[in-house]
Amino acid sequence: MSKKVFVTGATGFTGGHLARHLKAKGNDVIALAREGKDTSALEAAGIAIARGDLLNADSLARAVKGVEIVYHIAAVYREENIPRQTFFDVNVEGTRHLLKAAKAAGVQRFVHCSTVGVQGEISNPPATEEHPFKPGDYYQESKLQGELLALDFFKKENMSGAVFRPVGIYGPGDTRFLKLFKFIGSGKFRMFGSGEKLYHLTYIDDLVEGIRLMGETPSIEGEVITLAGGRYTTLNELAQTIADVLEVKLSGMHIPVWPVLIAGAVCETVCRPFKIDPPIYRRRVDFFTKDRAFVIDKAKRLLNYNPQVDLKEGLSKTADWYKSEDLIS
Ligand SMILES: NC(=O)c1ccc[n+]([C@@H]2O[C@H](COP(=O)([O-])OP(=O)(O)OC[C@H]3O[C@@H](n4cnc5c(N)ncnc54)[C@H](OP(=O)(O)O)[C@@H]3O)[C@@H](O)[C@H]2O)c1
């Protein structure tokens, strides 16, 4: 089924993989890219570029003309040294601009990327999509507002749209888990806390196939669907699997979390005025202190989503990519 599709966030990790996956599946893919961003790799893959910005409604109206499916992946996510308001400007108001542009252009399906972070820490894991909202920081708060805005817009404007919530995305091209790989690879890794908290990863190839299904599966209007890997682990098992992949020994030592939380708060306060990325920040520490484990029954039932990549295989592929980029030795 070849469609004219539009992907935001394609200059980033997930959107880039998604744009290439949709192209490989035979779609006519247009990617939104901000002025000055290097798009040569996307163009080499046969992806057309529409220059624009989520903050510029006119640029979006021009970009989505004739588009059948919108995959809205872009968000302010990784940056730590930008004003809090920017998260809301891009993740909420930017989403509003895109929804309006898509509606005006007669787009047939709008797929909105949220995050399981809107549910914050999971009590009684694993969680379904119904677990209560509990955003833990302003990024997650902005994603929650974006998700609710999209669902409300679909309903009020009678627009075919659905929301997916990814969980810990990893794979070649991502650097979010690089610090963990480096730390474990150095042999100096110490687990913060007990290591018995649960964590759930999603390999990028599985995720982009799930996102494609969100765009192409009929009768999922207004649904919210969690997309995650086939299983979750404790942090201890995750660290051990990374150590196995890197062929290093884990010290097995644990250190208390609270000094790190205090150090994170201090680093954030000191670094923010100087627009420096803090070496430790509390959102990173959440990784060690919050249960994040999810049920993917709804994705299986509604989308026939069926993640293929085993955790160890995915971590090996990620390590191989880090090595090929000289990010780890
Ligand atoms: N990574 C995870 O583990 C994870 C987990 C749950 C949910 N998510 C969600 O998944 C999505 C993708 O995450 P990612 O890790 O792939 O992010 P990423 O690599 O940081 O990419 C973010 C993308 O958003 C674009 N963007 C930011 N501000 C923009 C603006 N004003 N106008 C247009 N584009 C803009 C960036 O463009 P530039 O290149 O121009 O900066 C980039 O292409 C996000 O919605 C995130 O909230 C991620």
> Cα(140) to centroid of ligand 1, in Å?
13
Query: Cα 214 vs. chain centroid, distance in angstroms?
Result: 15
In which domain, by residue range, is 225 found? 4-174+201-230+292-309
Mean local confidence (pLDDT), 35-57: 98
302 occurs within a structural domain: yes
Give the pLDDT of residue 37: 97
Mean local confidence (pLDDT), 17-21: 98
159 occurs within a structural domain: yes
Give the pLDDT of residue 272: 74
> Cα(10) to centroid of ligand 1, in Å?
8
What b-and-e string marks burial along 234-245, b requiring 16 or more CB atoms within 10 Å of the CB? bbbbbbbbbbeb
Give the pLDDT of residue 73: 98
> Cα(52) to centroid of ligand 1, in Å?
15
- Site to substitute for ligand 1 among 18, 30, 34, most atoms within 8 A of C-beta: 34
We report the CATH number of the domain holding residue 157 as: 3.40.50.720
In ligand 1, the atom with minimum distance to the C-alpha of 90 is 31
pLDDT one-digit tens code per residue, 177-212: 999 999 999 999 999 899 999 999 999 999 999 999
pLDDT class of 275 with cuts at 50, 70, 90: confident
318 occurs within a structural domain: no
Q: Could you tell me the maximum CA-CA distance found in the chain, to the nearest angstrom?
A: 58
> Cα(13) to centroid of ligand 1, in Å?
7
Place of tokens 């039932």: 301
pLDDT one-digit tens code per residue, 152-176: 999 999 999 999 999 999 999 999 9
> Cα(19) to centroid of ligand 1, in Å?
13
Mean pLDDT rounded to a whole number for the chain:
94
- Site to substitute for ligand 1 among 13, 14, 20, most atoms within 8 A of C-beta: 14
Counting the structural domains of the chain, the total is 1
281 occurs within a structural domain: no
245 occurs within a structural domain: no
274 occurs within a structural domain: no
In ligand 1, the atom with minimum distance to the C-alpha of 117 is 6
> Cα(271) to centroid of ligand 1, in Å?
23
In ligand 1, the atom with minimum distance to the C-alpha of 116 is 6
Q: Residue 207 and residue 306: Cα distance in Å, rounded?
A: 10
pLDDT one-digit tens code per residue, 65-110: 999 999 999 999 867 778 999 999 999 999 999 999 999 999 999 9
Res 283 pLDDT > 80: no
Give the pLDDT of residue 286: 80
Res 267 pLDDT > 90: no
89 occurs within a structural domain: yes
Q: Residue 286 and residue 85: Cα distance in Å, rounded?
A: 22
Give the pLDDT of residue 26: 97
Cβ proximity of 64 and 70 under 8 Å: yes
134 occurs within a structural domain: yes
Res 39 pLDDT > 80: yes
Low-confidence winner among 4-18, 133-147, 242-256, 266-280 (lowest mean pLDDT): 266-280
Give the pLDDT of residue 276: 75
Q: Residue 293 and residue 312: Cα distance in Å, rounded?
A: 18
